[in-house]
Chain A
């Protein structure tokens, strides 16, 4: 008996976990499951993950979701679409076996390589060609680091791939990388969609050592027979290569041109716009990643997201039970909501992890500024939240120099806290909406699949289908208060640069 029910599955290979979501054809979530894996820090600047563990975790979660909720014999799985965090690097040998762990986006080992390129004339032309900021996160520098510091691994490497490429290769046998992830490697010319010779030369590799870049809608082969059997799927399920988490979070938030920007804040954060043009910033403060031909997701990433507030909660929160961070954070948020906007002139620079956009200063550090004798703990809580959101605003502000932004769509666990959403509306002085989907990366991957299958005419129509549930509007007179504070915030973040450097030398 042929089955009538149909679904689309999305797989997000995230920073800390893999999340598998099943959607019905109308975009409603049927089921969602996650499985986490650790990041290992064998040295202070290193962030690595075990590719086999990620693969097994993914397989396990996918299998459980299919068995518990979908029952492939009764519901047809039309397609599976992949997304992944950007900037990972995995070296594999000629048999496709990983040489060591994968290096993740958060790895900072390649600072010397960044400095070296920044001081060379090639810096500007490589940035203009690739759209990827000069930062240790970029695979370009990670590969250069391996060349300079891990000669054995480098010489045994047949290919440098991304985690998503590895997972897809395990499942189908094909080595592919989609345009979005390829454009986040610092090695792809986003204008010609070819690997950029000058960048390849700097990394010390040739293009045969990279996977083939393909459009995000591309089918990436058939599931190997063994996995078909263990998952209960058939060769009829289409595997779609998909895109990067950043691009899909933007699409999944319903942003597609139209003078809108997306703000995503989880542990880290980003402000992004989608447009037909590359934002060519003289100071190289933005990334420009390719979604489809002539369509770019541009913006700036920040290190200072929810992880900074978590740090504060762990140090100064009131833990009623061991490991009960969640309730501790809830208590702090409710405390912060009672404090006036601006925390009575207490400011916080959230640079505990250095900072990417807009100041791109790995040495930046955290600051509380303006403390007086009347400030209490509650003011500090509020100041930390406002500091994180001021940093987001500082990215938005320079984005507005290049494109018009009339409204904002937000996602991510930190940004979606009602207090934060309201502060974002007040600081930006723009209406803010939250999409109905809890997981906008998954939602974006669903839109991509549904467009590929002809449910939507194009991604533009797909993005418009996103229903925005909650709206926040800027409150009268509050924006002005915030701007007075922001002015000091902005001045401090640039003026303190030499002092940051001095203090880092003591740490």
Chain B
């Protein structure tokens, strides 16, 4: 079997899987003009190249994909072929509704994933980081795609579970590869600076060490050791220092309420903010404001 096209609205194979919108393998031997023009979607699109060379434009940037490469098009991103038609070659693709972290209920169509809701938050954060949409040389993804195909067509006992497991596996693989490809794995200061910028952009989020480590592409232990060595702080203390620096800046602007500052800078409550702040500066945020304006 070298070609197939499964679509959720008319393929019985996909009936148990509301979240798989389309799954296909195509061997393209001829050029059809205008067969691959600009499209944007609300779901995740993953392409895996088996043979050939594909020149695509993803979000207005040109990329060339070779065999074993993955193209990952996020919801809301645009994809079209450089020349308007699909190049000659063969590829898999999968259109997938991303699982929602808050739906861990197995009955809900959004709750198909076994990834814990906290890890799903990290997965999404990493996928949506401003990263390159092409992952090069990921043959493991090819194996996942062919297992998916076999499960869907053979439908042996337990296949529904296996398909969802394979999708989880694919998501985890993508996430890990993204964070590793994002971070050259050679330049910790650069990587750490990128992490700092990400944290500052989203300071009200209650970051965990696991999430921060995932952004850098390291395990939590290795990450904590590395951060301690590089900065002198544990990751959490480093983060608290960023929170307080930002809070100080806001406290010096009389127009911002202390409660808003606490929540904007990622403290759980005004109380939590006041205690942490006073421990370091000897003053409560309000006293600090009085003394500094």
Could you say which interface size class chain B belongs to? 35 or more
Which single residue of chain B is at the shortest CB-CB distance from A226?
A: B282
Residue B233 interfacial (CB < 8 Å): yes
Inter-chain CA distance A323–B219, complex, in Å, is 12
Q: Which of B218, B282, B288 has the most CB of A within 10 A?
A: B282
Give min CB distance, A40 to chain B, whole Å: 8
Report which of A38, A56, A96, A325 forms a contact with B280, defined as CB distance below 8 A. A56
Kindly specify which of B41-49, B129-137, B180-188 makes contact with the partner chain.
B180-188
Kindly specify which of A29-37, A127-135, A359-367, A371-379 makes contact with the partner chain.
A29-37
Residue A17 interfacial (CB < 8 Å): yes
A57 touches B241 (CB 8 A): yes
Instruction: Tell me the dominant secondary structure on chain B's binding face.
Output: helix
Which single residue of chain B is at the shortest CB-CB distance from A33?
A: B232
Kindly identify, within residues 388 to 444 of chain A, every residue whose CB is under 8 Å from any CB belonging to chain B.
none
A323 touches B282 (CB 8 A): no
Could you say which interface size class chain A belongs to? 35 or more
B281 touches A17 (CB 8 A): no
Which single residue of chain A is at the shortest CB-CB distance from B194?
A: A38
Of the A-B pairs whose beta carbons lie under 8 Å apart in the complex, a sample of 12, sorted by A's number, is: A36-B232, A50-B245, A55-B248, A59-B281, A60-B237, A95-B292, A230-B278, A230-B279, A314-B184, A322-B186, A322-B217, A325-B187
Q: Give the chain A neighbours of B248 by CB distance below 8 A.
A: 52, 55-56
Q: Give the chain B neighbours of A96 by CB distance below 8 A.
A: 292
Q: Give the chain A neighbours of B180 by CB distance below 8 A.
A: 322
Residue A26 interfacial (CB < 8 Å): no
Give min CB distance, B103 to chain A, whole Å: 34
Annotate B114-158 by CB proximity to A: 1 below 8 A, 0 otherwise: 000000000000000000000000000000000000000000000
Known: A35-B232, A229-B282, A323-B218. A52 touches B249 (CB 8 A): yes
**How many A-B Cβ pairs are below 8 Å?**
91
Q: State the A residues within 8 Å of B (CB).
A: 16-17, 33-36, 38-40, 50, 52-53, 55-57, 59-61, 63, 95-98, 224-231, 314, 317, 319, 322-323, 325
List 15 additional A-B contacts (Cβ < 8 Å) besides A230-B280, A325-B188: A34-B232, A36-B232, A40-B193, A52-B248, A56-B280, A59-B281, A60-B280, A63-B280, A98-B249, A224-B291, A225-B282, A226-B283, A226-B291, A314-B187, A323-B188
A56 touches B282 (CB 8 A): no
Known: A53-B245, A56-B280, A230-B281. A95 touches B218 (CB 8 A): no
Inter-chain CA distance A462–B283, complex, in Å, is 39
A322 touches B282 (CB 8 A): no
A323 touches B186 (CB 8 A): yes
Which single residue of chain A is at the shortest CB-CB distance from B223?
A: A323
Give min CB distance, A94 to chain B, whole Å: 12
